[in-house]
Structure 1
Amino acid sequence: MNYQRKRILLYSVLAGLFTILLLLVSIGLNSSGYPLQGSSPTPALIPHQVDAQIVESPSQALVEVYPLVEDKPALSVELTPAPPLLEEPKLPEPSSVTLNTYVPLPAPPTASAVKGAVQSTTRPTPLPSKISIPVLNYHSVTIDPGNVVVISPAKLAEQLAYLHDHGYTPVSLATFISLIEGEDVEAAPEKPVLLTFDDGYIDNYEQAMPLLAKYAFPATLFISPGMNNQEGYLNWEQIKKLQEAGWDIQPHGMTHPHLPRLSADQQAFEILEARKQIEEKLGTKADVYCYPYGEYNKTTLKLLKDHGFRYAFTIEQGNATNQQSPYLLKRHFINGEEGLKSFIRKLSTRD
């Protein structure tokens, strides 16, 4: 290659390099936001800061928005305020109401207690005062050492004498009910006591009846008619004579069963048949019950209530009061092996 051609080739290379350099410079200036004069605007590919828009948020903070400069109009970003926090639900206050089966709680203040309200002329009925009466629970009256259910005639005579000498008045079942219900009883005794005998043993007729007759003391006898005429138990003729002597006769189950072991129908028969036979044989009301073995359950209590029994006696120890359930009246078991001091302590009990 001759010298002339070499010079032309060199100039061509230099011209190309210069052109490339100019292009690089032009691109660099446009990308920095300073376009060359006469050049067409080239879209910027990176964001640049514009006047910040203030958007209120829940915290009132200032937020700067940076739109992208492209071939589309700048987009502004709006922050949606967060929804208000829900209030935590308030739980109801625990009730202060308490249950008391037999003594109702005093009623809350009425509108008449509010200042300026019209005052009512009706006065609230006061709660009844507590009435407490010892009920003594006897069984057999004979001599049987070591048997706590049996009391000797001599000990029974001693106890009856103590009642007479110390101002106690044995009352009939009707008088007991009137007293426990707070009714006005003419010449109500100062120290009433109810004498009860369970099961209907023949010695109640042979031994107890003459001892009580000495003081004209009444008593209440709970019998199981299905056991009448059996050995050691009363018959209807003897029961009638006890009634004539001032004894009240009431049901103790037809056959002296364990009531909770029976079905509802079986319990109903035991309770109602005993009442039916007593009322038919003696012509008196028999609506006070005594639980055989002192046992009962919810079915027993419901049957008594549904069939109109007024009261029922348990073997739970203590005085009978007007604040007990009418179907759960307490009594004092008379232990034939105990002495007179124990008997006196039971009379002094104040439930």
Structure 2
Amino acid sequence: MKIKSRNSRIYIFIIANLLLSVIVPFKAFATDSAVILMYHRFGESKYPTTNITVKQFKAHLLELKINNYNVTPIPRIIAAVRNGKPLPPKTIGISIDDAYLSFYKIGAPLLLENNFPYTIFVATDPLDKEAPGYMSWNQLRELVKGGANIGSQTASHLHMPEASMHRNAFELKKSNIRFKKELGKIPKMIAYPYGEFSLEVEKVSRDSGFTVGFGQHSGVIYQYSNFMYLPRFTFNESYGDLKRLRLAIRALPLRIADLTPEDPYLRWQNNPPIFGFSLQRKLMNRISQLACYGSHKDKMRIEILGKTRVEVRGNKAFPPGRTRINCTFPEKDGRWRWLGMQFLVPKSLN
């Protein structure tokens, strides 16, 4: 009896240690943030600004695989981060915009081969019109059946901030009807066409049933992000090498509060914008390491107000169209904290 009791205790001890070997590392290295990658076209060299070469994309997937990145469905990432639940270390999401045919032919099979989940954001008009270079509804259904998640990009992929809210509501309703008919359900996520966003666009998107929105500005998702305007790292031929991918997938959030301006859609009264935020006190001791750059790699002036307030100043008004600001902060392990913002200046102020 004593031998049996001793063996039972040894067995329990071994099981407990095995459980600790699994649970403790997860808790020690779990994260509350995640990076989302974004792609458009695959192997379409005629469109270098939205295309990733096949060689580049294969290299990206290999980098994620051999380094044990946790490529996770985006809805699962959003649910965890939003609710303050831990994610596995190295959590990455993959998003595809526009439902180009090259994704169906090239990108999707490569993701399937690596067992990597993904989300496709779709504007419904090109599929309805059977536009050249786009997927068909049958092809999209095939991908959904294989596990793809679907998000919206409106019906016609319009410039939402410059359209009337009536037009935007019509576009979202029209596309939602088409999604329901063709796929049997209405998406809850939207990727704003061209990454263009405004507070009015957020309102009409919420009113249309969307609970998550994505732009095209760089950055990392964490619990206090604006979940109606989340960042993604965009890749194309010019910005698609492994050095940039490694920088992106290892990025950390630059945790801020009191971001201004709230609305990135600029009029003449607030152009250039006073781009500002409150930074964590522990980072203020190294504030000289914070750097902010505009779209054309112009280094911007940083001013410190009070104990934690940072304001980023441009030298001149932003031109009509899209302008991005990226602020980065180095960490000792070679990783970078990242905050991005995309502004839009209307082409006409009338």
Q: TM-score range by the shorter chain?
A: 0.5 to 0.7
CA deviations over 1:271-313 (Å, ceiling 9, x no partner): 2222221132112340111100111223211112223311000
Shift of 1:147: 1.1
SS in 2 for 1:322: coil
Question: Structure 1 stretches of 5 or more lacking a match?
Answer: 1-128
Aligned to 1:201: 100
Choose from 115, 118, 124 the match for 1:219: 118
TM-score for both structures, normalised by structure 1: 0.60
TM-score using structure 2 length: 0.60
CA contact (8 A) 1:143 1:153 kept: no
Report the equivalent of 1:349: 251
Q: Which residue does the alignment assign to 1:255?
A: 156
Contact 1:142/1:153 (CA < 8 Å) preserved in 2? yes
- Alpha-carbon distance in structure 1 between the residues aligned to 2:108 and 2:184: 21
Percentage of matched positions with identical amino acids: 24
Q: Is the 8 A contact 2:123 2:153 kept in 1?
A: yes
| Inter-CA distance 256–194: structure 2 relative to 1 (3 Å threshold) | same
Q: Is residue 316 from structure 1 mapped to residue 214 from structure 2 by the alignment?
A: no
1:169 aligns with 2:70: yes
Name the aligned partner's letter for residue 340 of structure 1.
Answer: L
SS in 1 for 2:232: strand
In 1: Cα distance, 2:32 partner to 2:176 partner: 28
Counterpart-to-counterpart distance in 1, 2:65 and 2:113: 10
Q: What's the offset of the Cα at 1:335?
A: 2.6
Secondary structure, counterpart of 2:48 in structure 1: coil
2:169–2:208 Cα contact (<8 Å) kept: no
In structure 1, what residue type is equivalent to 2:243?
A: K
Letter of the aligned partner of 2:97 in structure 1? Answer: D
Residue 310 of structure 1 aligns with an amino acid whose one-letter code is T
CA distance in 1: counterparts of 2:45 and 2:54, whole angstroms: 11
CA deviation after TM superposition for structure 1 residue 245, in Å: 2.0
AA aligned opposite 1:220: T
Q: What amino acid sits opposite 1:276 in the alignment?
A: I
Is this contact kept in 1: 2:82–2:222, CA < 8 A? no
Deviation at 1:319? 1.2
Compared CA separation, residues 209 and 257, structure 1 to 2 (3 A): same
Report the AA paired with residue 217 of structure 1. F
Structure number with larger C-alpha Rg = 1
Q: Aligned equivalents of 1:259 and 1:279: distance in 2?
A: 22
Please tell me whether residue 296 in structure 1 is matched to residue 197 in structure 2: yes
**CA-atom RMSD, angstroms?**
1.9
Mapped contact 1:130–1:321 kept (Cα < 8 A): no
Determine the C-alpha separation between the residues in 1 that align with 2:49 and 2:165: 32
Unaligned 5+ segments in structure 2 are: 1-29, 254-350
- 1:223-302 alignment to 2 at 5 Å? 223-228=122-127, 229-302=130-203
Change (3 A) 1:300 1:139: same
1:227-279 deviations in Å (ceiling 9; x for gaps):
11100001100101111222111110101101122111101011222222113
Letter in 2 for 1:344: R
Q: Does 1:328 align with 2:229?
A: yes
Contact 2:44–2:102, Cα closer than 8 Å, also in 1: no
- 8 Å Cα contact 2:31/2:88 also seen in 1: no
Q: Is the 8 A contact 2:197 2:229 kept in 1?
A: no
Partner Cα distance (2:243, 2:46) in 1: 19
Q: Distance in 1 between matches of 2:152 and 2:33?
A: 24
